[in-house]
Copies of this chain bind each other. A is one copy, B any other.
């Protein structure tokens, strides 16, 4: 159900110069992969989710592996940009920046229109049974998260060593939200997970540099 024009399907085979909305189709496929994972998503599932025909998926979106990679790419750049924006004020207000960082994740989880968890976390967990390219891309995404956080903490005048270990910790805590949300953990508890980490950051942030 991602057609650009108003024409909708009737009885027999319908077509024409419709040129369906590829972007919307990718979003639908991404959400399907996100919810069910690679292994538990059949091409028929993707067909149903996107409203696209089986043939159309292969001709316009590639095979299952290529499509998954495109979805993963889409996911990482979309939320990667949001994470970057959230951390952009790190030099001035590092704690607020990290809080905003986690808010991106918490809001995504709270969004009823999106699956729980995180596509990257899901993909990383399935690493041993995924294609090498996909697995590598997922690992890379985790690495980017670490780099992002580390740069923000450094900008917030956290010493080298503390920035390194805190970036590792915070990236891990962020991934933990994916697991816990899938376990049905309430929004309040997820907030508690984050708040403890933020408290710890606030204390080491208030300790070394003059605020």
Interface pair A138/B183, CB less than 8 Å apart? yes
* CB within 8 Å of B: which A162-211 residues: 164-166, 168-169, 171-173, 175-180, 182-185, 189, 192-193, 195-197, 199-200, 203
Interface pair A172/B168, CB less than 8 Å apart? no
Main secondary structure of the interface of A (DSSP, over half): helix
A166, A169, A183, A200, most chain B CB atoms within 10 A: A183
Interface pair B139/A168, CB less than 8 Å apart? no
Give complex CA distance A121, B128 in Å.
15
Tell me how many chains of this kind the complex includes.
2
Give complex CA distance A171, B36 in Å.
24
In the assembled complex, the CB of A144 is this many whole angstroms from the nearest CB of chain B, namely 11
Give complex CA distance A169, B39 in Å.
30
Interface pair B117/A125, CB less than 8 Å apart? yes
- Please give, as numbers and ranges, the residues of chain B lying within 8 Å of A175 by CB-CB distance: 176, 179-180
A105 proximal to B (CB < 8 A): no
CB-CB nearest 3 A-B residue pairs:
A200-B200, A176-B176, A169-B196
Report which A residues bind B (CB closer than 8 A): 35-37, 39-40, 115, 117, 121-122, 124-129, 138-139, 142, 164-166, 168-169, 171-173, 175-180, 182-185, 189, 192-193, 195-197, 199-200, 203
